[in-house]
Every structure is written in structure tokens, then in C-alpha cells.
């Protein structure tokens, strides 16, 4: 008897693509060698989440404090921060709902 593939996402939800929710498609920039090298160097220099005192997380993402789509500098180390998965999700959710902030835990 055939079985349906096991999936955590409902069939009706469709497939999510990594860059589909961005206001400006920066996919070529984020997949480029220059960004990957800079992000790797930033995580090596800042291995803990910027909110480590609150979340105790290890850096997973190198994130722009001010998004490039809002005029933030692409390759400026002063515009970068290390975030754990949880803090990155909080920040991304706030930005998607119009409450963008460089501190994911402010107002939570």
C-alpha cells in the first residue's frame, strides 16, 4: 500500500524558498565569496550571540544591524552582529512586522 511522504509542513503550504520574503533580492550578494569570507571572519572574532547574557547562544548567523534594504552598509564590520538561531528568528520576525530593531530582545 502506498504511503504519503512524512513532512513537517502541510502539503498545502508549499515549499518555502530562502530569499522569497526579502524586500530586495540580495541573493547574489549573500551567496558571493566576499560576503561568505567576511561573515566567517566576523563569526570567528565574535563567536557568541550579541545577546549572550540573555539567551546563552552561540553565534550561528552574521547579521546586518541595519538591513541593506534600509541603507545599511553591506561590508562594514560596524554594521554586523553575531546572532544565535533564536535571536535571529526574533529579529527577522520583528522586521517582517514593521518593528525592525538591531536588538532582538528589546521590547520582548
Count structural domains, the chain. Answer: 1
**CA-based torsion, 67, 69, 71, 76: positive or negative:** positive
Judge whether residue 102 has pLDDT over 90. Answer: no
Residue 75: domain span:
26-96
Residue 16 included in any domain: no
Q: Report residue 24 CA to chain centroid gap.
A: 15
Residue 90 included in any domain: yes
> Which residue has better confidence, 83 or 108?
83
Residue 84 included in any domain: yes
Residue 1 included in any domain: no
Judge whether residue 56 has pLDDT over 80. Answer: yes
- How high is the pLDDT of residue 108? 42
Instruction: Check: CB of residue 63 under 8 Å from CB of residue 83.
Output: yes
Q: What is the mean pLDDT of residues 24-52?
A: 91
pLDDT for 58-69, tens place per residue? 999 999 999 888
d(CA 55, CA 107): 15
Residue 9 included in any domain: no
Residues in a beta bridge with 82: 62
Residue 10 included in any domain: no
Amino acid at each position: 500500500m502506498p504511503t504519503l511522504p512524512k513532512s513537517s509542513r502541510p502539503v498545502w503550504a508549499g515549499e518555502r524558498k530562502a530569499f522569497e520574503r526579502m524586500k530586495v533580492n540580495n541573493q547574489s550578494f549573500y551567496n558571493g565569496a566576499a560576503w561568505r569570507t567576511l561573515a566567517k571572519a566576523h563569526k570567528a572574532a565574535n563567536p557568541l550571540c550579541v545577546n549572550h547574557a540573555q539567551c546563552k547562544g552561540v553565534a550561528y548567523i552574521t547579521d546586518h544591524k541595519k538591513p541593506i534594504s534600509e541603507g545599511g552598509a553591506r561590508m562594514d564590520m560596524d554594521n554586523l552582529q553575531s546572532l544565535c538561531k533564536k535571536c535571529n528568528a526574533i529579529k527577522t520576525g520583528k522586521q517582517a512586522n514593521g518593528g525592525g530593531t538591531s536588538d532582538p530582545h528589546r521590547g520582548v
